[in-house]
Amino acid sequence: MSVNQQAHTGPPYGQPQPGYQGYQQPAYGGQSLPGAPQQYGAYNGPMPGYQQPVPAQGYFPSLGFPSKGSPVSLNSDTSSLAPNFIGSLRAPPTSGAPPPASGASHPSGPVAYSQFEHGDVQNGIPASTAPMQRPPASQPFLPGSAPTPVSQISTFQQYGPPPASVQQLRNHMAGMTIGSTAASAPPPAGLGYGVGPSSYPPTTGAPRPPAMPGPPLPGQTVAGPPSSQPNHVSSPPPPSTMAGLHPGPPMSGLHGPPPPTHPPQPGYPMQQNGSFGQMRGPQPNYGGAYPGAPNYGSPPGPPPPPKRLDPDSIPSPQLNELPPQQKPRHRIDPDAIPSPIQVIEDDRNNRGSEPFVTGVRGQVPPLVTTNFLVKDQGNASPRYIRCTSYNIPCTSDMAKQSQVPLAAVIKPLATLPPEETLPYLVDHGESGPVRCNRCKAYMCPFMQFIEGGRRFQCCFCSCVTEVPPHYFQHLDHTGKRVDFYDRPELSLGSYEFLATVDYCKNNKFPIPPAFIFMIDVSYNAVKSGLVRLICEELKSLLDYLPREGNMEESAIRVGFVTYNKVLHFYNVKNSLAQPQMMVVSDVADMFVPLLDGFLVNVNESRTVITSLLDQIPEMFADTRETETVFAPVIQAGLEALKAAECAGKLFIFHTSLPIAEAPGKLKNRDDRKLVNTDKEKTLFQPQTSFYNNLAKDCVAQGCCVDLFLFPNQYLDVATLGVVPYQTGGSIYKYAYFQLETDQYRFLNDLRRDVQKEVGFDAVMRVRTSTGIRATDFFGAFYMSNTTDVEMAGLDCDKTITVEFKHDDKLSEDSGALLQCALLYTSCAGQRRLRIHNLSLNCCTQLADLYRNCETDTLINYLAKYAYRGVLSSPVKTVRDALINQCAQILACYRKNCASPSSAGQLILPECMKLLPVYLNCVLKSDVLQPGPEVTTDDRAYIRQLVTSMDVAETNVFFYPRLLPLTKADVDSDALPAAIRNSEERLSKGDIYLLENGLNIFVWVGVSVQQSLIQNLFGVSSFSQISNALSTLPVLENPFSKKVRSIVDVLQGQRSRYMKLIVVKQEDKLEMLFKHFLVEDKSLTGGASYVDFLCHMHKEIRQLLS
């Protein structure tokens, strides 16, 4: 997409805008702060100041919206635009069908042609018709949203080569018009994109149109019909303006198609609205100019602004002969830049209906947002492994040149949909799995049997190994074993082996794991009702402990501890009439006062357990103890598991900073003044190394920690989170916990956490074929050496991200192989090996690398890389490195893979065209760019959470899903079509739902029909809707049922129960909601999508020059 247009007005990137004074901000996943109105539930993100939308400087509402592409199809560079073109009408609705390629009454913008390779897209119109590409569907037309375009007069002049100096670059950026056609003064020279070297394009008074009602603006297929053109939005060509304009039909509220225009010349795909190709010299194989289209009158524009250098407007010879002409400027049309919604929709339409068969090497899977079935035919399902690229460079030099990180996001115990088969369990008896003698890789479909089947050659290290006699089988005429299809390890990408005693600790088969529930009974926990709530829930939840498929009851034993400054252990042995309590007050030297009776079988000791859970809330009802310990609680659980000689999980429910005298005691070190300084990194680091050592001991025993936090103030998540993080556990945080609004979310999280599949005492190793090796790992785990990822527990939601580097050359013929082997203990105490294999292609051409990348996985990796970077580097350094790496990735593509074209065009690879929008979302996230109201704990919490997210979770976390509820079909099961994350897409007459994996917002416009409000909220007017709702009322009408079913569907897709927040338009909470409209400029100084695209374009051009 060539973007040479001008940036929006606003404060420089990286500087906060004024906030709404005096309103306190709720915290991640919690309730409002003390002093804040309690009905405003908190959320994962800032709630910056609420500002009334005012037209930007230089915006004249009477002048209407920025003009779109003209109804002229330029098929050659020799042509000039229709002399009297001013602006086109909106396109007619096409209800989801791709725009017609020829002969349609679709206005198409002027197209600049050159010879592009497959895989490029002009203006978001996808290029190759290869099966992997994603053609589009156009978006619905909304009548009445488009005021008349107005041409702007400005003098066209011829300029020399692109500028070199910064000032000239600034001038060039000033020439990149992103504004409606309103006059504005030149920008101040020094307005920058933030501090330091990455300065942002200067901005002038370019407007953002007022919020347009309804769905995305019409006629914009952001990815149009497949064609061989690059993704670009070029600077406006200079149409000449003449007198004698024809009066046209009125512009607003057009229903149906615009008046007839000349159809575009057949055979060439149309340009999208709002994109303007460069004028270039004639090119072979294209006809002359296409006759001009009729134009529609409008009053003359405002006086011309001062001239600006526009190095890209190097006119073609034909234009040199013309007198200087008037040149309109156009705001970059957000519909002409790549749309995540369109790409997601196209992929669903193209790849959602067919099963994804994994038999072919190096296939790029459908996007994570597409529902598809997987058929395992030799490579692991993308539910288990996704890669940043499925075609990796053959040499390290090529990898360095492209800067595309080679990484795999692995989710070894991922949950499969019911219609897919779980990995088969293979039992080879006492001899165990067949492995390569040298590199110890496990038998897999890529091993080559030789010498009639008596030996096999390893696909990873090429060593030849004897086939054990019991495993021998003859080969058929193709060299395949005759039992190929009977053995999962020879024909499938994923399978499990039953491990022998050699794979067990101390050469002893493991005992089934135990769960220990450790409840904080300090004043805050008791007073809030939390202790009673947990005890009530556990009575029923213990019936749902995880078990193996056909087992009658779970093999997991349970134990109970309560604590404040001291610890209380409970003997719940089945022979007792009443539970017995033992207190350990010497927290400096923690021991477990009882062995027999602490860990018990639930069914055998049910009456004693129920009695205990009834008594705990009463015992501590009158407590005055406010201080808590924390490290001794973990030590107690660890000692109990050691004494029982088993692995297990601690469920710790904790409320406050552990300041009581004990090991691991912490102090309040929260300091907002460190933000944006070199010491900011200390806020993410633990304040003592004590917890790192404790985590190491826990991992050695297989003691995994899940932590449920209920803070009312700072409690140092960065330090408390160390043990859960390094043991493979989870952290859940409910700030300002209130029983009535938060219990439902907490209980849902607790139920899912207790019931989900977990592997204990896990070790994972990733082997690769010669040429690449695993060099770096990201996730919730511990590493004692460079190859083994150790986790006390690994659940079905956790991912481990692995980066690979070259250590030799690869060959295109043999490709590259990965084998992930996970050794773990199941919840029944069975030692198993889960194996996932994946084969990738290798390439000597950069174009092949760029054609087989997966942007969602790339963003997942980059976010984790950046979030780890903040532990050791200033946040600004991390942000600049991210921008620089992505600019290098795109500059390398531009230089080596795209056809030569003007530097004024930003050309993106087809499968990476969403890289800028998604990267901008990562840069604007609370970890890398916090608003003043995002707490240190919130940032530490999000940093740890994202580090073990899978690709689907990071996708919706960074670019939330926005659904127009009022457009939902109450008679269908389908979700309404998502819209783009921008305020201008919202209509005040509609209700929208936004979800990001942690929260669900329901935004209600001020002009929503009363009947809809009645049907959804059960109140009669907008003003009566309560912000305190944490669930939607259950009402017996189709709209209420539909919306609640949509919420249920979304909740079911996420690993955590999302907090529901109702936001009324123009309410204080709306600023919190707007923080998640990630295509807009953020109040913390984050750039809008359009501005960031211009910034990336500038960075790329600097690299290329």
The Cα 396–Cα 412 span in angstroms is: 28
**Three-state DSSP class for 817?**
strand
Query: Are 416 and 373 a contacting pair, CB within 8 Å?
Result: no
Q: What per-residue confidence (pLDDT) applies to 432? A: 94
Q: Provide the token pair at 730.
A: 């989870």
SS (H, E, C) 517-536: EEEECCHHHHHCCHHHHHHH
Low-confidence ranges of the chain (pLDDT < 70): 1-331
Q: What per-residue confidence (pLDDT) applies to 871? A: 96
Other Cβ atoms within 10 Å of 777 Cβ, number: 20
Q: Which helix (H) or strand (E) holds 806?
A: strand 800-806
The Cα 1091–Cα 1100 span in angstroms is: 14
Strands 816-825 and 831-843: antiparallel
Query: Are 856 and 954 a contacting pair, CB within 8 Å?
Result: yes
Q: In 215-369, which ranges are E strands?
A: 356-357
Other Cβ atoms within 10 Å of 360 Cβ, number: 11
Q: 274's torsion region: left (phi>0), alpha (psi -120 to 50) or beta? A: left
Other Cβ atoms within 10 Å of 368 Cβ, number: 21
Q: In 154-300, which ranges are E strands?
A: none
Query: Measuring CA to CA, which residue among 1005, 1003, 1006, 1035 is closest to residue 1019?
Result: 1035
The Cα 234–Cα 111 span in angstroms is: 9
Classify residue 790 by its DSSP letter. Answer: E
How far, in Å, are 45, 345, 956, 1078 from residue 1075 at the CA level? 7, 24, 14, 7
Residue 851's identity, in one-letter code, is R
Residue 426's identity, in one-letter code, is V
The Cα 772–Cα 753 span in angstroms is: 36
The Cα 861–Cα 403 span in angstroms is: 13
Residue 140's identity, in one-letter code, is P
Q: What share of the chain is helix, strand, coil (3-state, %, to 5)?
A: 25, 15, 60
Residue 538's identity, in one-letter code, is L
Output the CA torsion sign for 1089, 1094, 1099, 1104.
positive
Residue 731's identity, in one-letter code, is I
The label of the residue with tokens 């963003």 reads 859
String of b and e for 434-453 (b: at least 16 CB within 10 Å)?
bebeebebbbbbbbebeeeb
User: What angle, rounded to 10 degrees, do the helices at 1089-1104 and 875-896 form?
Assistant: 60
Query: Are 929 and 1085 a contacting pair, CB within 8 Å?
Result: yes
Query: Are 243 and 141 a contacting pair, CB within 8 Å?
Result: no
Over its C-alpha atoms, the chain yields an Rg (Å, rounded) of: 31
How far, in Å, are 47, 202, 707, 819, 943 from residue 937 at the CA level? 16, 35, 14, 37, 10
Query: Are 736 and 554 a contacting pair, CB within 8 Å?
Result: no
The Cα 39–Cα 1062 span in angstroms is: 10
Quote the Cα angle for 174-175-180, to 5°: 90
Quote the Cα angle for 216-220-224, to 5°: 135
Q: Provide the token pair at 231.
A: 């993704």
Which residues, other chains included, contact 759 with Cβ-Cβ below 8 Å and sequence gap of 6+? Answer: 412, 413, 791, 793, 794, 795, 822, 824, 825, 826, 832, 834
Other Cβ atoms within 10 Å of 1089 Cβ, number: 25
The Cα 593–Cα 248 span in angstroms is: 90
User: What angle, rounded to 10 degrees, do the helices at 631-644 and 690-701 form?
Assistant: 20
Q: Enumerate the β-bridge partners of residue 1004.
A: 991, 1064
The Cα 308–Cα 327 span in angstroms is: 12
Query: Are 670 and 926 a contacting pair, CB within 8 Å?
Result: no
SS (H, E, C) 544-606: HCCCCCCCCCCCCEEEEEEECCCEEEEECCCCCCCCEEEEECCCCCCCCCCCCCCCECCCCCH
Please tell me the number of Cα atoms within 13 Å of 1063 on its side-chain side. Answer: 29
Query: Are 944 and 980 a contacting pair, CB within 8 Å?
Result: no
Which residues, other chains included, contact 330 with Cβ-Cβ below 8 Å and sequence gap of 6+? Answer: 5, 66, 67, 177, 181, 236, 274, 276
Query: Are 358 and 337 a contacting pair, CB within 8 Å?
Result: no
Which residues, other chains included, contact 666 with Cβ-Cβ below 8 Å and sequence gap of 6+? Answer: 630, 657, 658, 659, 687, 688, 716, 719, 720
Q: Enumerate the β-bridge partners of residue 759.
A: 794
